[in-house]
Chain A
Amino acid sequence: MSAGAGDVVLRVDWPECRARGLCAELLPERIVLDEWGYPVVLGPVSPALQALAREAADACPRRALHLRPA
């Protein structure tokens, strides 16, 4: 997927991530877990999904998920 106008990008702070998996539970449209439990980001976040994306970032116990402008 390529970013459109108003999109934000999900970025993972890898040294902080401990594969807790809450992000994938809250934003399955854009995050799936790999075989070791770490998040795979599928693409940018459209404005419609941004509230959910913010929830997912807020839910991360390690604050390892960040939203950045595209």
Chain B
Amino acid sequence: MIRPPDVVDVTPGPMLLSGIADGPSLAAHRVRQGPLPEADAGALLAVIAPLAVRGRGGAGFPLARKIDTVLAHRSRRPGRRPVVVVNAAEGEPASAKDSALLDVAPHLVLDGAVLAARALGAGTVHLVTSVDRPWAGAAAARAVAERDDHGIRWSRHEAQARFVSGQARAVLELLSGRSGLPVTSWVPESMSGHRGRPTLLSNAESFAHLAAAVHVGADRYASYGTPQEPGTTLLTLTEPAGPDGSFGGSSGGSGRAGVDGVPVVGVRVVEVCHGDAASQVLSAQALANPLLVGGFHGAWLSPRDVPALRWSNAHLRALGASLGAGCVITLARGQCPVEETARIVTYLAAESAGRCGPCFNGLPALADEVRGLAEGADTRRRIAELTGLVRGRGACAHPDGTARIVTSLLTTLDGEVEEHLDGRCGCRALSTVGAA
């Protein structure tokens, strides 16, 4: 079980994070952004659809299409009124952007939720944070208490501290008073979600983008980013300290003080424009090593491709990766991606909800084989067998994501894997008996 970071450094950014130095209060937010505009469904869609604003929970589904679906399935009957859910459960420990947003710019998120609720005719907005980030829940509560949106009822929930707690159906189960674990979804929640109602469920950053697009206008929003991917995106950068204890990137950041004052791991949330060069925010050490993009369900990038990396899905797709929820993890000097993948997969296997046979059987078996690989045994054939067996055979994408990071290790970093098996990579796993 991995705890999320206790302290997160947030760097001011061009749009979502532009006003954070002024504090999170509603007054400061209104000074900066102005009053909340009135926008019916048509006006809202007219702004965000051309901007191709996508959900930031990992799947990247176009927000406009979700809203369209909710509109198509709503009615005024008491049981069919739509519902808005802001998902900041953030089950991935390497992701901190939604929690950070609630702490430093909550009213941008809440503005987005209110805009969506008004356009859809929803009366309730549910806000979900996680039990192991109590500061995010407290910040959300403070922000909600400041607001006076007419006709909107706020409802706060706390999800369990599990990796799968942030999954959409798991969140809906939590809202219904059930276990907060994923179940099979026969139709998208925008058609039938919370208590069968059309539900707009998106993560906190998505709602912030919605509000930002409406506040600053489509033209200014599109002035950031690329024509194909307008706008910005939040990244959570997890980086071990360099040998001198500092962290990389021109944005600074100083991580947590370790024993004797030497920082160990720094977690930073930054806002980048789509298409920006990764070298602007990553240290030289990060640029010279394999990079994990997309968090624990993401994909490895080869050191060959990292120096020229750009934060755009078009660029990343060509490398077999995608931005996902924007978690980027760098390795420390001397760390081996095989060993790290083994640790991550062991963690992911333990985080299975235990409901779907292929997952709670297949992931521990996969973790065993990847640990075997880390210890020097060539288990690649069995690994390929297992990744094929778990993909698509679960109620949620947990097995698919786990298969993804393992497959990317074996394909993108095949050279590093060969080096490791030959004993040439010099990592600690081969010199000590047994892995973590």
Quick check: do A and B touch in the complex, using CB within 8 A?
Answer: yes
Q: Please name all residues of chain B whose beta carbon is closer than 8 Å to the beta carbon of A36 when the two chains form the complex.
A: 357-358, 361-362
Query: Taking the complex as formed, is B395 at the interface, i.e. its CB lies under 8 A from any CB of chain A?
Result: yes
**Cα of A40 to Cα of B355 in the assembled complex, Å:** 17
Decide if A38 touches B393 in the complex (CB within 8 Å).
yes
A4 to chain B, nearest CB (A): 21
Chain B hits for A60, CB < 8 A = none
Assess whether A15 is in contact with B356, with CB atoms less than 8 Å apart.
yes
Bound-complex Cα distance A35 to B385 (A): 11
User: Bound complex: CA of A35 vs CA of B358, how far in Å?
Assistant: 9
- Does A25 have its Cβ within 8 Å of any Cβ on chain B? no
The residue on A at minimum CB distance from B355 is: A15
Q: Tell me if A12 counts as interface (CB < 8 A to partner B).
A: yes
- A15 CA / B355 CA spacing, docked (Å): 5
Closest to A18 in B: B357
Name the residue on A nearest B396 (C-beta): A14
Residues of chain A with a CB closer than 8 A to B395's CB: 13-15
A21-62 interface mask toward B, CB cutoff 8 Å, 1 = contact, 0 = none? 000000000000011111010000000000000000000000
- Assuming the contacts A14-B355, A14-B356, A19-B357, asked whether A40 and B393 have C-beta atoms less than 8 A apart, the reply is yes
Contact A12 B361 (CB under 8 A): no
Bound Cα distance from A16 to B394, whole angstroms:
11
Which of B353-396 touch A at CB < 8 Å? 355-359, 361-362, 389, 393-395
The interface residues of chain B, by DSSP majority, are classed as loop
Contact A13:B184 (CB < 8 A) given known A37-B357, A38-B357, A38-B358: yes
Q: For window 154-187 of chain B, which residues contact chain A by CB distance below 8 Å?
A: 182-184, 186
Q: How far in angstroms is the closest Cβ of chain B from A61?
A: 15
Which chain B residue shows the least CB distance to A12? Answer: B393
Give the Cβ gap from A1 to chain B, nearest Cβ, in Å: 15
A9 at the binding interface (Cβ < 8 Å): no
Answer yes or no: A17 CB below 8 A from chain B CBs: yes
| Whole-angstrom CA separation of A38 from B362 in the bound complex | 11
Contacts of B358 in A (CB 8 A): 14, 34, 36, 38
- Using C-beta atoms within 8 Å of the partner chain, give the interface range for chain B: 10 to 19
Cβ–Cβ contact B393 & A14, under 8 A: yes
Distance between B3 CB and nearest chain A CB, rounded to angstroms: 27
The range of chain A's interface size is: 10 to 19
- List the A side residues contacting B355 at CB < 8 Å: 14-15
- Which residues of the other chain, A, contact B184 by a CB distance below 8 angstroms? 13-16
> Which residues of A lie under 8 Å from residue B393 when comparing CB positions?
12, 14, 38, 40
Could you say which of B359, B362, B393, B394 has the most chain A C-beta atoms within 10 Å of its C-beta?
Answer: B393
What's the Cα separation between A66 and B187 when bound, in Å? 14
Produce 1/0 per residue, B29-72, CB < 8 A to A: 00000000000000000000000000000000000000000000
Q: How far is the CA of A67 from the CA of B183 in the complex (A)?
A: 18
**Contact: A14 with B394, CB < 8 Å?**
yes
Q: With a CB–CB cut-off of 8 A, which chain B residues contact A19?
A: 357
* Minimum distance in angstroms from B326 CB to a CB of chain A: 28
**Chain A positions within 8 Å of B362 at CB level:** 36
* Chain A residue at minimal CB-CB distance from B353: A15
Question: What separation, in Å, do the CA atoms of A19 and B357 have in the docked complex?
Answer: 8
Alpha-carbon gap, A12 to B355, bound state (A) = 13
For chain B residues 244-285, which have a beta carbon within 8 Å of chain A? none
From residue B392, how far is it (CB to closest CB) to chain A in Å? 9
Q: Which residues of B contact A38 (CB under 8 A)?
A: 357-358, 361, 393
A10 to chain B, nearest CB (A): 12
Which of B182, B358, B359, B395: most chain A Cβ within 10 A?
Answer: B358
Q: Give the nearest-CB partner of B361 in chain A.
A: A36
Closest to B362 in A: A36
Q: In the complex, what residues of B have CB within 8 A of residue A34's CB?
A: 358, 389
Bound together, the chains give a CA A45 to CA B203 distance in angstroms of 37
CB distance from B126 to the nearest CB of A (A): 23
Q: Are A15 and B183 in contact (CB under 8 A)?
A: yes
Distance to closest chain B CB from A41 (angstroms): 9
Q: Which residues of B contact A17 (CB under 8 A)?
A: 356-357
Closest to B356 in A: A14
Contacts of A66 in B (CB 8 A): 186
Cα of A66 to Cα of B185 in the assembled complex, Å: 13
CA distance A6 to B354 in the complex (A): 35
Which A residues fall within an 8 A CB radius of B? 12-19, 34-38, 40, 66
Chosen A-B contacts, 10 in total, with CB atoms closer than 8 Å, are: A13-B395, A14-B357, A15-B182, A15-B355, A15-B395, A17-B357, A18-B357, A34-B389, A36-B358, A36-B361
Sample of 4 further A-B pairs with CB below 8 A, known A17-B357, A36-B357 = A14-B355, A14-B357, A34-B389, A40-B389
Please give me the 7 A-B residue pairs with the lowest Cβ-Cβ distance, nearest first: A14-B356, A15-B355, A38-B357, A36-B361, A13-B184, A14-B395, A15-B395
